[in-house]
Chain A
Amino acid sequence: NAGVTQTPKFRVLKTGQSMTLLCAQDMNHEYMYWYRQDPGMGLRLIHYSVGEGTTAKGEVPDGYNVSRLKKQNFLLGLESAAPSQTSVYFCASRSGGPNTGELFFGEGSRLTVL
């Protein structure tokens, strides 16, 4: 009963390096989300997807790209990491439909950019 799985859990990058965070869900959910969580800021939406092959920008999309090639996977990419991207990243998913609002979160990926 995996739910939402994020890899890696921890990563340290140097400024300018690139990396990809992987989110996988086994609940056949339509909607997937990437949030970042910073002290005093709460969870902020980076990008989201309403289905396979679709992506859209959230509140804070700059510096990030995403892809949803398979329904179960949602990838978050940093092309050129900056110290401001040091954060804890959470992936979440939910099933489709107007009355199904509950989000299922992964355990988070802690990224440090030096």
Chain B
Amino acid sequence: SQKIEQNSEALNIQEGKTATLTCNYTNYSPAYLQWYRQDPGRGPVFLLLIRENEKEKRKERLKVTFDTTLKQSLFHITASQPADSATYLCALARDYQTGANNLFFGTGTRLTVIP
């Protein structure tokens, strides 16, 4: 079965710096990979999706890369702010052409941006 590892449980960085979170997976290459943000006591909120044939995706201060050779995705937050403090989850979908295309989630990385 697919195993998804996010580099660390917790990451602390200084405000204004770039936060880089890692998501590694084993076994099959997913059709696409997603990143979600989760605040304490809340449900996850979708941030970005990147497909297997895409190398990079950007949205405002967020950037996601996808390396199917390394089986890794990197999630970057540039010019980080205390409001970016949250847990970030990566999720993989196996095949978007068939079935329910279920998402499998990593355990998340808790990011704290220090003012």
- Residues of A whose CB lies within 8 Å of any CB of B are 4, 31, 33, 35, 40-45, 48, 50, 56, 58-59, 90, 92, 98-99, 101-108
Contact = CB atoms under 8 A, between A and B. Distances in A.
Contact of A99 (B34, B96, B100, B106): B96
A31 B101 CA distance: 10
Contact of A43 (B42, B44, B49, B99): B44
B105 A42 contact: yes
Given A102-B34, A102-B49, A106-B43, A42 B107 contact: yes
Contacts of A42: 4, 89, 105-108
Interface in B1-29: 4
A49 to B, nearest CB: 8
A103 B100 contact: no
B103 interface: yes
B69 interface: no
Given A43-B89, A48-B100, A98-B97, A108 B106 contact: no
Contacts of B105: 35, 42-44
B62 interface: no
B115 interface: no
A45 B104 CA distance: 8
B46 A56 contact: no
Interface in B29-83: 32, 34, 36, 41-46, 49
